[in-house]
Amino acid sequence: MCSSDLFDQYDLVLVDQDGVGLERAKLFLEAEYRVGVETVQCDLGVPFAADELYRTIRGKTVDILINNAGFGLYGKFSETNWATEEKMIYLHIHTPIRLTKLVLKEMTGRGRGMILNVSSLASFQPGPFFSVYSASKVFLQSFSQAVATELKGSGVTVTVFCPGQTKTGFAKGVALRSGSKESKVPVFSSSAVRVATIGYRGMKKGRILVIPGFLNKLVATLARLVPGPVSASINGRIQQR
């Protein structure tokens, strides 16, 4: 977070399958922001991962849940690896929904709490060559908005965050899983810090849908106006290039 958000000094529980990266993040955050950081190394893309994680943190008060874990896979659905796609479905759909289910009872009982589900700009249009990724993000966006509406007046909010191209390791991961040696970060990518700050602030304001940046908002708006088959055709040509 940028300096203006430093008054929100929450203690953190960070979850990832990269133990080295977790420890590095823990040391940085504790030194830089003087907050307590606990790490849990686990794979959230497998069955029952959410329940196991919840058992690990049981007894802690969860004020904010951020479901951010995800990855992409490029290729024709008829040729891509099913095991990788099944893991993606667990990671993008099953685990966030189950974690949301598990923490909501306590949050609604207290009358406060915030949940931020990270979807994608890809959730506004069909995604040829990213079919499972795009569809999973559509699901997460629809689910989040529905539950957010159910919770109005409860003191608990659900925000779905739909960023566009962002400078992270996402593109490199897609290239590796797709068997490519080359990963290109699009010219119009935004910095991860800027994007994360917008998402966090949107969540704090209780907004249901947050799209960072004018260009991304424009793309989302236009995608709603274009028929699905036409949008899929255009997007497919872009992805092939």
| pLDDT tens for each residue of 86-109 | 999 999 999 999 999 999 999 999
Rounded distance between C-alpha atoms, residue 175 and residue 99, angstroms:
29
For the chain, percent of residues with pLDDT exceeding 70: 85
How many C-beta atoms surround the C-beta of residue 110 within 10 A?
13
For residue range 122-145, list pLDDT tens digits in order.
999 889 999 999 999 999 999 999
Share of the chain residues as helix, strand and coil, in percent rounded to the nearest 5: 50, 15, 35
Q: Nearest CA to 142 among 202, 87, 97, 195?
A: 97
Number of C-alpha atoms within 13 angstroms, CB side, residue 73?
22
DSSP SS3 for 66: strand
**Per-residue confidence at 7, pLDDT binned at 50, 70, 90?**
low
pLDDT (0 to 100) of residue 9: 84
